[in-house]
Amino acid sequence: MTLSRLEIIRPDDWHLHLRDGDALASVIGHTARQFARAIVMPNLKPPVTTVAQAEDYRRRILASLPAGSRFQPLMTLYLTETTPPAEIVRAKASDSVVAVKYYPAGATTNSQSGVRELSHVYPVLEAMEKHDLPLLLHGEVTDPDIDIFDRERVFIERHLMPLREKFPALRMVLEHITTHDAVQFVHAAPTHVAATITAHHLLLNRNALFEGGMRPHNYCAPILKRETHRAALLQAATSGDPHFFLGTDSAPHPREAKETDCGCAGLYTAHAALELYAEAFDQAGRLDKLEAFASFHGPDFYRLPRNADRIVLERTPWIVPEEYPLAGSTCKPMRAGESVAWSVVDTAIA
Ligand code: NCD
Ligand code: ZN
């Protein structure tokens, strides 16, 4: 029997880029429509490196919400080689910062201030382990001699395995995983080591980068991988394993910043996030596992309450607009001009 309606506890997005200013105002409604909370990435210009900056950013997000929205932004700090361990104590004491984000310098959008050498931040990681503040990892090496499709696998071997040994109690999330290797590593780890998976990495493989020509809107970090990896991610996401949970990594860029020489990395998926995940789970014949992945495993990892209200999805196709406004420009969303099989029809059932 094909399921045509699905009612689940309201989900959260455990990895999201909201940007700032007019861009923030353009995109926030899409996320607030379906998610109760989101972990907000700190890669602004300049990056959000202190609790004071995170609290200011949080206030700007709350001020840009549609009237009546109860959406809660969960803030993160951007780890740099000059982050003082005292900032971790301040973060732990705040009620707004829930994690610290590691970017390898040069890996992705606004990562210039990221970490060049992991050992330089060991004192901060020690403080995080001691105060039990999770580390969110952009798990890629950036060495020019490593093939771009191997960046995640090599990061796991060279950096993540030693990090696990050095800081065994540190809670970690390997963000937006893209490979079979990451699935295996996280699956075998204790549950205080987890991973987020994006909708686009569940639905697309690297052929989508070159379908009929160069497709800059499918370019993201970490880059799409071959089909065997996509299949491993889909298996992990739909397995019911609590190590894996929803993180869209929705990352809006103005169209002109992607359709250019040296275009930016990032897919915009917030407009249809849960609907795209539903498609992926449906493809795997595992819609029954969507609720745990989208609404249970994330709060359990972060030790936050699960949401209480519910959201309803129906198998009703709709056509995604060609573009959405983004500050003074536009943003081309995933599936632009094409159909998405599921619709969120009711988001306010108590
Ligand atoms: C993100 C962005 O644009 O901020 N881009 C992306 O491709 N995912 C940064 C990131 O998470 O790597
Ligand atoms: Zn991201």
pLDDT at 109 over 80: no
Q: Which band of pLDDT confidence, cut at 50, 70 and 90, is reported for residue 111?
A: confident
Q: Which band of pLDDT confidence, cut at 50, 70 and 90, is reported for residue 35?
A: very high
What is the whole-number distance in angstroms between the Cα of residue 103 and the centre of ligand 2? Answer: 10
User: Would you state the pLDDT for residue 285?
Assistant: 97
Ligand nearest to the CA of 14: 2
What is the whole-number distance in angstroms between the Cα of residue 312 and the centre of ligand 2? Answer: 27
pLDDT at 349 over 60: no
pLDDT at 348 over 60: no
User: Would you state the pLDDT for residue 1?
Assistant: 59
Say how far apart CA 31 and CA 110 lie, in whole Å: 22
Over residues 248-291, the pLDDT tens digits come to 999 999 999 999 999 999 999 999 999 999 999 999 999 999 99
Percent of the chain surpassing pLDDT 70? 99
Ranges of each domain in the chain: 12-306
Mean pLDDT of 127-142: 98
Percent of the chain surpassing pLDDT 90? 95
Over residues 194-235, the pLDDT tens digits come to 999 999 999 999 999 999 999 999 999 999 999 999 999 999
Ligand nearest to the CA of 264: 1
As for ligand 1, residues whose beta carbon falls within 6 Å of it are 17, 43, 108-109, 138, 220-221, 249, 251, 265-266
What is the whole-number distance in angstroms between the Cα of residue 349 and the centre of ligand 2? Answer: 30
Pick from 19, 141, 215, 249 the residue to mutate for probing ligand 1's pocket: most ligand atoms within 8 Å of its CB: 249
Q: What kind of architecture, by CATH, is found in domain 12-306? A: Alpha-Beta Barrel (3.20)
Q: Where are the beta strands (DSSP E) in the chain?
A: 5-9, 13-16, 37-40, 72-78, 97-102, 135-137, 172-174, 193-197, 244-246, 310-314, 318-319, 324-326, 329-331, 339-340, 343-349
Mean pLDDT of the chain: 97
The residues assigned a catalytic role are 249
Ligand 1: nearest atom to the Cα of 220: 7
What is the whole-number distance in angstroms between the Cα of residue 308 and the centre of ligand 2? Answer: 27
Which residues are 172's β-sheet partners?
135, 193
Which residues are 74's β-sheet partners?
39
Q: 344 — phi, psi (to 5°)?
A: -85, 120
Handedness of CA 182, 176, 171, 118 (dihedral sign): positive
Closest residue CA from atom 5 of ligand 1: 266
